[in-house]
Amino acid sequence: MLRKDINELLTRTGPGTAMGELFRQYWMPACLAEELPEDGCPPIRLKLLSERLVAFRDSYGNYGLIDEFCAHRGASLWFGRNEEGGLRCPYHGWKYDTTGQCVEVPSEADNSSFAENVKLTSYPLVKIGDVLWTYMGDPASQPPLPEFEFALTPAEHHYTSKRWQQSNWLQAFEGGIDSSHVTFLHSGGLKSDPLFKGAKGNQYNLNDTKPFFEVADSEGGLFVGARRNAEEGSYYWRITPWVMPSFTMVPPRGDHPIHGHFWIPIDDENCWAYSFDYHPMRPLTEAERQAMIDGHGVHSKNIPGTYRPEANMDNDYLMNREKQRTGEWYSGVEGIAIQDSSLQESMGPIVDRTKERLVPADSGIIKARQKLYRAATALRDKGATPPGVDPAHHHVRSAAVVLPQKEAFLDAARDDVRVRPGFPISSV
């Protein structure tokens, strides 16, 4: 169980909250680059950390992320006209550039300096890979840009999607570092999903339902090791890295691409699940990319024109009791991503952790909560820079390895869990 006050601290991410301030120390995904596909395209609404914003790409190709509401009378700038290097409010014509600076107030005299004194809240927006990243903290403390391997590979090597999840970010994130549920919830996917099936490690997953967990500290977060029996005298280890505050990677399977996630708070009761696949050594095949588009692996099939999954809370996730009974889909829900989100959303918008009963298999979740709490309170009380801000902390990989039983997992797999350009992933 978790004390109520700690649960509140870890789940509330709005302005002025301890966890909200923690998230504001990092570069984080704001939207996909495909949402602003060309210069001068329509703006989009965004809500991040409970702040309502609009993102736009001006006629010169500059990206902006600014307060949604015009400083004049509060009209939404989502209705804005994207023209000549700025976004113009259609109500009275006030115009803003990508920094939020008001550059024109048509009702004012030509020699008026009024516009110079009007500036909306704004945040930087930078394209790296498929993602537009933002930093919402103090500009004076802005860290270097993120260096996660998936985003820095050539475009043909990676694919990124996102989906709206109707739950607090923490219960979504905790699923990302929980390897014990795979043997049950995703057992059908290990046999049939085109981005999972065929790996030798799948049999170790399915044959051993009692994984033993070890958790090792890292500069940026944790390495969560899940150990299962393999051949005589050896263990199969699946090693999940977590980089604070919410980057996780799924250990690989065979020569399939590596999967991973960011869990980004929209507000306290909703989050974005950004899901990526990449292969550091080769381009994704046409079949792999199509499988991702079709919602296999860690991705979801979304309602066209939106980022809401087709299988969602309103239609009971298209539950199929017959396939649940036969075991084709262990929970009766199709797809790895929706199997996770359906159960995480079923907990309610913010799960009451004072009622939970944890077991040793939850050691990664326990230690992650402790590290988040320590970092958030150290930032609040002492101004301490949290782990994971330094881009050097981003150079991690997940790994799946078979090791002799006598070897400590992180000592033996230290090279396997760090980015080594030109070296393949460690997978079984």
Cis link prior to 245 (omega < 30° from 0)? yes
Confidence of residue 1 (pLDDT cuts 50, 70, 90): confident
- For residue 128, which phi and psi values (nearest 5 degrees)? -135, 115
Average the pLDDT over 306-326 and give the result. 97
SS3 380: helix
pLDDT of 351 above 90 = yes
Average the pLDDT over 167-180 and give the result. 94
Q: By C-alpha distance, which of 199, 218, 170, 175 is closest to 376?
A: 170
Q: Tell me: the pLDDT tens digits for 273-313?
A: 999 999 999 999 999 999 999 999 999 999 999 999 999 99
Q: What's the rounded Cα separation, in Å, for the pair 424 and 86?
A: 45
pLDDT at 183 (0 to 100): 82
- The superfamily (CATH) of domain 27-141 is Rieske [2Fe-2S] iron-sulphur domain (2.102.10.10)
pLDDT of 44 above 90 = yes
Whole-prediction pTM value?
0.96
pLDDT at 179 (0 to 100): 80
Which long-range CB contacts under 8 A does 319-328 form with residues at least 24 apart? 327/187, 327/188, 328/188, 328/192
Transcribe 104-133 into DSSP letters: E-TTS-TT--GGGG-B--EE-EEEETTEEE
Rounded to a whole number of angstroms, the distance between the first and last alpha carbons of the chain is 35
Domains 27-141 and 149-413 share a fold: no
pLDDT at 209 (0 to 100): 87
Q: Tell me: the pLDDT tens digits for 121-166?
A: 999 999 999 999 999 999 999 999 999 999 999 999 999 999 999 9
Non-local (6+) Cβ contacts of 254 within 8 A are 198, 199, 200, 201, 427, 428
Q: What's the rounded Cα separation, in Å, for the pair 375 and 357?
A: 25
pLDDT of 272 above 90 = yes
State which fold the 149-413 domain adopts: Naphthalene 1,2-dioxygenase Alpha Subunit; Chain A, domain 1 (3.90.380)
Percent residues over pLDDT 70 in the chain = 100
Non-local (6+) Cβ contacts of 97 within 8 A are 58, 62, 64, 85, 86, 87, 103
Inter-residue contact 136 to 23 (CB < 8 Å): yes
Q: Tell me: the pLDDT tens digits for 197-239?
A: 999 999 999 899 889 999 999 999 999 999 999 999 999 999 9
Q: For 83-92, 140-149, 180-189, 284-293, which range has the lowest pLDDT when averaged over its residues? A: 180-189
Non-local (6+) Cβ contacts of 420 within 8 A are none
Average the pLDDT over 18-43 and give the result. 98
What are the extents of the domains in the chain? 27-141, 149-413
pLDDT at 394 (0 to 100): 98
Percent residues over pLDDT 90 in the chain = 95
Average the pLDDT over 352-375 and give the result. 96
Average the pLDDT over 315-327 and give the result. 96
- Cα dihedral 349, 162, 339, 410, rounded to 10, equals -100
Average the pLDDT over 37-44 and give the result. 98
Q: Is 3 exposed, middle or buried (0-12, 13-18, 19+ CB in 10 A)?
A: exposed
Q: What's the rounded Cα separation, in Å, for the pair 318 and 316?
A: 5
Q: Is 402 exposed, middle or buried (0-12, 13-18, 19+ CB in 10 A)?
A: middle
- For residue 214, which phi and psi values (nearest 5 degrees)? -130, 140
Q: What's the rounded Cα separation, in Å, for the pair 334 and 321?
A: 11
